[in-house]
């Protein structure tokens, strides 16, 4: 995982529309992968067949976990470390 940064704390701004309050979730791979899925809180956020592996995620109040999973050329599933962030009202 390249983003978000582990331990980051975000604050929702009541003066801005919720749909415009987003962060970049992204990953890079050191090997060629046939498919990469970005996850948030156990749910697939986006699937990619080629880089860049990057998507905007709308902030939601609470504690959140992000990670990436990919499938290499041999069919092995590779999972990144989880990154935790907090979003406050």
Q: What is the pLDDT of residues 45-57, one digit of tens each?
A: 999 999 999 999 9
Task: Assign 86 to helix, strand or coil.
Answer: strand
**Which pTM does this prediction carry?**
0.92
20 phi and psi angles, rounded to 5 deg? -95, 0
Domains of the chain: 9-88 (2.60.40.10)
Q: What is the pLDDT of residues 57-84, one digit of tens each?
A: 999 999 999 999 999 889 999 999 999 9
Q: What is the pLDDT of residues 31-41, one digit of tens each?
A: 888 899 999 99
Residues 6+ apart with CB under 8 A from 61: 12, 87, 88, 89
């Amino acid at each position: 995982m390249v983003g978000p940064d582990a331990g980051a704390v975000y604050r929702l701004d009541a003066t801005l529309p919720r749909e415009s309050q987003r962060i970049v979730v992204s990953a890079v791979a050191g090997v060629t992968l046939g498919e990469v899925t970005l996850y948030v809180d156990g749910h697939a956020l986006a699937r990619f067949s080629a880089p860049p592996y990057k998507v905007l995620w709308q902030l939601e109040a609470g504690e959140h976990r992000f990670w990436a999973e990919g499938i290499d050329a041999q069919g092995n599933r590779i999972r990144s470390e989880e990154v935790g962030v907090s979003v406050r009202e």
